[in-house]
Structure 1
Amino acid sequence: MNELSIKTSTHSYFVYIGDNLRFQLQDLIQQDYSSILIITDDKVASLYLDDVLSALKGQRVFHSIIKSGEASKDIRQFYHLQTEAMNYHLDRKSLIIALGGGVVGDLAGFVASTFMRGIDFIQMPTTILAHDSSVGGKVAINHELGKNMIGSFYPPKAVIYDVNTLSSLPEHEVRSGYAELVKEAFIADESFLKRLLNVDIYSLSNNQLRDHLCNGIKIKAEIVEQDEKESNIRKFLNFGHTLAHALETKLGYGKITHGEAVAIGMLFALRLSEQTYNKALPSKSLYSWLKNNNYPLSLYGLKNSELLEVMKLDKKAENQNIQMVLLNNVADPKTIELSDREVLTALAMFEKELKDI
């Protein structure tokens, strides 16, 4: 088992990464709680909920199951889970466990952060993508006008990452998770990036997967520890996300996975970086890797003007001006402000490139 320690302004917590950790919860949860609420989704529940309930046998445990998918990360589901917590008589010494992917983690974490002004929660990721969202303490729900617009910074008490749960992932979820790993490599570690761009993500060993996850989480942890509330360098973790969030919002949450949207957003940001800094970056290598691993590469016929308006709602935007994370070089990210005209020109060029390739 690998253990990583993450420091926050309120407390430190461990990320545990290993095999069959869902059966070892009694040892890994290092505190007594009056009750525990497990929040999961219908797909994960059918696979792993019984294992977790069995591991917590003898404790006062409840569970709530939401419908899988990004559409569940909304105000109605948030309110429903608050009602469930009250009906189960959770109190300030209760614990919420988020068993699932990024949607479950973000939603359950936001419920925990606001129930009785904040109770403990633990992340139990079951997707590769959630290696990113489970670490760093960002919790949120979506608004129809923008992704993750309602949320807070609220670190978990622990992250318990059972890599065996990743074996059941469909291919689109593997794609989603590996896009975020590639993002982390692009902004911080060129050697890690070269390793990732030479793998077939559908034929990885558990050891390779664990190594990649540990590298990605280390990058995230180092940045978060320096800038917990995203006032400066944490913004670099949004490489590829400005366009990605706009695509998700306009297409409707769940049309493509978050990571698939990030993959398109990274390719766009990389091409814009090459134009901005007048230098060659590995955009061709990224494109080839994305194609070889069956990522969807399209703007889906969306109008550039509509994408622009959503991009201006991005949380990095200031005074209605779009800020994007670009790369001066691999592992040398910069945040720059762009005019509407610059973004529209770049989107038009990118759209043409995707059609011509």
Structure 2
Amino acid sequence: MKLTVNLKENSYPIYIENGILTKSGEYISRIFNGQKIMVISDDNVFPLYGQKITDSLTSAAGHNYECHSLVLPHGEPTKNFQSLPKIYEAMLEAKLTRSDLVIALGGGVIGDLAGFAASSYLRGIKLVQIPTSLLAQVDSSVGGKVAVDLPQGKNLVGAFYQPKMVLIDPEVLDTLPDHFIKDGMGEVIKYGCIKDSNLFCRLCSHSSFEDLKPELPEIIARCVDIKRIVVEEDQFDTGERMLLNFGHTLAHTIEQYYNYERESHGEAVGIGMYQITRMAEEKKLTAPGCADRIQQALKIYGLPSSCGLPVSALTEAISLDKKNLNGHLNVVLLKEIGNSYVYPTDISFFGFSENGQENI
């Protein structure tokens, strides 16, 4: 299946196909006529798929690609400012120029980190995203958001930098531990919540991820298509695209509170979606029953709906959130499942006082 993100000179194709990794060289040769390619990956993914990608690149008909690779430690702690010099050094050692290419082979951490390095090295070098986690396939590999974390918060240094191509192979998900499947399902559920009640109902009609698995390529394609439409409408996250942040205001603060070592991103998003919808229902900003439906969807796919933290513990991180502008906070709420909107408010939305200790 082919989808195209139409952004004029920044347009690019997305291919979703079982087994596409073995043909990656053929696809990349359609958009890249340079010489050098650097594959940036992590120590979980590269041993599984690095050689397969490299073999496909070096055997691409009519091309004589010179392939280099950089393998980084897996996990969110790698997505920090201190990782960038290692990447730039590897690029310089390989003598990459602006006519060369970077491939981000991995999950969201590698996609964001390698993407940011590509956006800033020599003021921009071509980028291809090959996402290998469910979360990256349905969300972070599409749309051009690249970033690194700071100690004070997630994704606080970043850029909008569109790839030249995205290659999605659903078969690679067979090697993912259950933890990372749950992680991705948090974002899949989000797409149903914000834009597609039929998708949400489809997810809720199954009993588990294994039950859903035969439909996975279609599910991935639907999520990607929703994101494509939103990104085309709002490339730089000033309006419609903000809807993609449903659940994220709380999620990012939960992740940060535990130094990215407890809840994964998708788990935190699940908690954020349920808790903010529960608060919105209490304020009559969301139709009754939505929070319960979200909680049920989370339960089906083994995701939590609470983390046991007092809301007051998250206030500082919420105040540093990128969506907090001049003391005004834009939160994403649901009118009902499948129909979302941006609600301008401030930190008082979360309904606590200095002594308030309501747990979420």
Range of TM-score over shorter length: over 0.9
CA 1:350–1:335: 2 relative to 1, 3 Å: farther
Alignment of 1:242-253 (within 5 A): 242-253=249-260
Question: Aligned-residue CA RMSD in angstroms?
Answer: 1.9
Within the candidate set 285, 299, 304, 1:291 is matched to 299
Alignment of 1:104-115 (within 5 A): 104-115=110-121
Q: How far did 1:306 drift?
A: 2.8
Native 8 Å contact 1:8 1:155 kept in 2: no
- What is residue 83 of structure 1 aligned with on the other side? 89
Structure 2 spans left out of the alignment, 5+ residues: 59-63
- What is residue 205 of structure 2 aligned with on the other side? 198
Native 8 Å contact 2:312 2:357 kept in 1: no
What is the CA–CA distance in structure 1 between the aligned matches of 2:211 and 2:104, rounded to whole Å?
26
Q: Does 1:143 align with 2:150?
A: yes
Q: How far did 1:139 drift?
A: 0.4
Q: Does 1:21 align with 2:29?
A: no
Q: How far did 1:235 drift?
A: 0.4
Q: Does 1:168 align with 2:191?
A: no
What is the CA–CA distance in structure 2 between the aligned matches of 1:67 and 1:200, rounded to whole Å?
34
Greater mean deviation of Cα atoms: 168-177 or 8-17: 8-17
- CA deviations over 1:194-234 (Å, ceiling 9, x no partner): 11122244314654000110110111110100000011110
Alignment of 1:336-347 (within 5 A): 336-345=343-352
- CA deviations over 1:285-338 (Å, ceiling 9, x no partner): 22123223322343344x422301111111111112332111122232222233
- What is residue 241 of structure 1 aligned with on the other side? 248
Native 8 Å contact 2:204 2:297 kept in 1: yes
Native 8 Å contact 1:97 1:121 kept in 2: yes
Q: How far did 1:276 drift?
A: 2.6
Q: What residue identity is the alignment partner of 1:111?
A: A
Q: Does 1:315 align with 2:316?
A: no
Native 8 Å contact 2:111 2:141 kept in 1: yes
- What is residue 61 of structure 2 aligned with on the other side? none
What is the CA–CA distance in structure 2 between the aligned matches of 1:254 and 1:86, rounded to whole Å?
32
Structure 1 spans left out of the alignment, 5+ residues: none
- What is residue 120 of structure 1 aligned with on the other side? 126
- What is residue 11 of structure 1 aligned with on the other side? 10
Helix, strand or coil at the partner of 1:289: helix
Q: Provide TM-score, normalisation by structure 2.
A: 0.92
Helix, strand or coil at the partner of 2:324: coil
Identity %: 33
Q: What residue identity is the alignment partner of 1:37?
A: M
- What is residue 264 of structure 1 aligned with on the other side? 271
Helix, strand or coil at the partner of 1:295: coil
Q: What residue identity is the alignment partner of 2:292?
A: K
Q: How far did 1:108 drift?
A: 0.6
Q: Provide TM-score, normalisation by structure 1.
A: 0.93
- CA deviations over 1:161-193 (Å, ceiling 9, x no partner): 111111111111111111111111111111111
**Residue-pair matches, total:** 350
Q: Does 1:35 align with 2:43?
A: no
Q: What residue identity is the alignment partner of 1:10?
A: E
Q: What residue identity is the alignment partner of 1:132?
A: D
Helix, strand or coil at the partner of 1:230: coil
Native 8 Å contact 1:37 1:64 kept in 2: yes
CA 1:201–1:109: 2 relative to 1, 3 Å: farther
Q: Does 1:46 align with 2:47?
A: yes
Q: What residue identity is the alignment partner of 2:304?
A: P
Greater mean deviation of Cα atoms: 274-283 or 45-54: 274-283
